[in-house]
């Protein structure tokens, strides 16, 4: 039986003043959801604030990206060691917004995942197809290609220390979530591919769904056999909505 994880992705949003109330609500809400893991992925400048408010709570915190390099002349990048300094448990890698806007390749995403794992940070590795790729019937080929790059770089056993997130690009921030059938099909295909390499890793890996998850669709999505939680963008900025998704995961 896999635990459910509900992870918020704040993206480039928030301010010291706004975050304070949100983090306190999430901290209080997580306390009454003992069966679900909760986490928030905040912008780098707010990691210290998240650490300060969430320490001792049932909600973990993490970053939205990390460098694959350990240190050096990489202006603007943030290393695994820096995230460890801020006591991050997780970091997202390979979010479609970074793949698209920063030309992150499958190989680079895989290297980031490897660096995170080697530094004892759990990468939440995002995969997902664009609308054009889905309409062309290439969904599984695309997510398999993205997953295979990670498997080639990490090896299947280290994947056991990661979380996978299926995030169809066309569902992110659009209000249009994947249907339960679409989500389950891709999650099952990803798990099967990993299970073919190592059954135990495949059976144990948390695979999150992301893309317009909200209180109204969370119960249905969280109840799917191969969906082990959610990566939540917009709804993670509204404490009541984020906690409603957490409750859906607890009851699904
Ligand atoms: C995301 O940013 O990872 C995401 C899933 O966003 P949203 O929930 O807003 O679609």
DSSP assigned state of 224: S
pLDDT in tens, 105-137: 999 999 999 999 999 999 999 999 999 999 999
pLDDT for position 115: 98
**Six-digit token pair at 232?**
């939540």
Q: Residues lining ligand 1, CB < 6 A?
A: 9, 11, 167, 172-173, 210-213, 231-235
pTM for the model: 0.98
DSSP string, 96-132: HHHHHHS---HHHHHHHHHHHHHTT-EEEEEE---HH
- The DSSP bridge pattern shows strands 36-41 and 207-210 to be unpaired
Cβ-contact 8, 229 below 8 angstroms: no
pLDDT in tens, 201-215: 999 999 999 999 999
DSSP string, 69-85: SSSSS-TT---HHHHHH
Overall CATH class of domain 4-251: alpha beta
Question: CA 44, CA 75: separation in Å to the nearest integer?
Answer: 14
pLDDT in tens, 145-158: 999 999 999 999 99
236 pLDDT above the threshold of 90: yes
Which residues does residue 60 pair with via DSSP β-bridges, in sequence order?
A: 39
The enclosing H or E element of 37 equals strand 36-41
pLDDT for position 1: 72
User: What are the C-alpha distances in Å from 104 to residues 16, 49, 60, 219?
Assistant: 29, 28, 26, 33
pLDDT for position 78: 98
| Distance from Cα 226 to the centre of ligand 1, integer Å | 19
pLDDT in tens, 44-74: 999 999 999 999 999 999 999 999 999 999 9
**Average pLDDT rounded to a whole number, residues 74-82:** 98
| Distance from Cα 239 to the centre of ligand 1, integer Å | 15
**Spacing of C-alpha 187 from chain mean position:** 14
Cβ-contact 48, 65 below 8 angstroms: no
What are the structural domain ranges in the chain? 4-251
Q: Could you give the residue numbers annotated as active site?
A: 95, 167
Q: 14: left (phi > 0), else alpha (psi -120 to 50), else beta?
A: left
Mutate to test the pocket of ligand 1, among 5, 7, 8, 11 (most ligand atoms within 8 A of CB): 11
Question: CA 201, CA 109: separation in Å to the nearest integer?
Answer: 20
């Amino acid at each position: 039986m896999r635990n459910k994880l509900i992870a918020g992705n704040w993206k480039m949003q928030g301010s010291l003043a706004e975050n304070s109330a949100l983090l306190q609500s999430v901290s209080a809400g997580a306390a009454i959801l003992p069966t679900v893991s909760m986490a928030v992925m905040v912008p780098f400048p707010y990691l210290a604030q998240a650490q300060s408010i969430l320490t001792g709570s049932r909600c973990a915190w993490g970053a939205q990206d990390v460098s694959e390099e350990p240190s050096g002349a990489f202006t603007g990048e943030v290393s695994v060691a820096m995230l460890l300094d801020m006591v991050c448990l997780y970091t997202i890698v390979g979010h479609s917004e970074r793949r698209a806007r920063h030309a992150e390749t499958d190989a680079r995403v895989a290297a980031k995942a490897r660096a995170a794992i080697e530094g004892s940070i759990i990468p939440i590795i995002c995969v997902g197809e664009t609308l054009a790729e889905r309409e062309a019937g290439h969904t599984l080929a695309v997510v398999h290609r993205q997953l295979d790059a990670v498997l080639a770089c990490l090896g299947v056993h280290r994947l056991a220390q990661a979380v996978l997130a299926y995030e169809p690009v066309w569902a992110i921030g659009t209000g249009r979530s994947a249907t339960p059938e679409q989500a389950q099909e891709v999650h099952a295909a990803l798990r099967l591919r990993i299970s073919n390499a190592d059954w135990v890793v495949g059976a144990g890996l948390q695979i999150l769904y992301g893309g317009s998850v909200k209180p109204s669709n969370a119960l249905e999505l969280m109840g799917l056999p191969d969906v082990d939680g959610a990566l939540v963008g917009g709804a993670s900025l509204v404490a009541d909505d984020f906690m409603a998704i957490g409750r859906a995961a607890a009851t699904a």
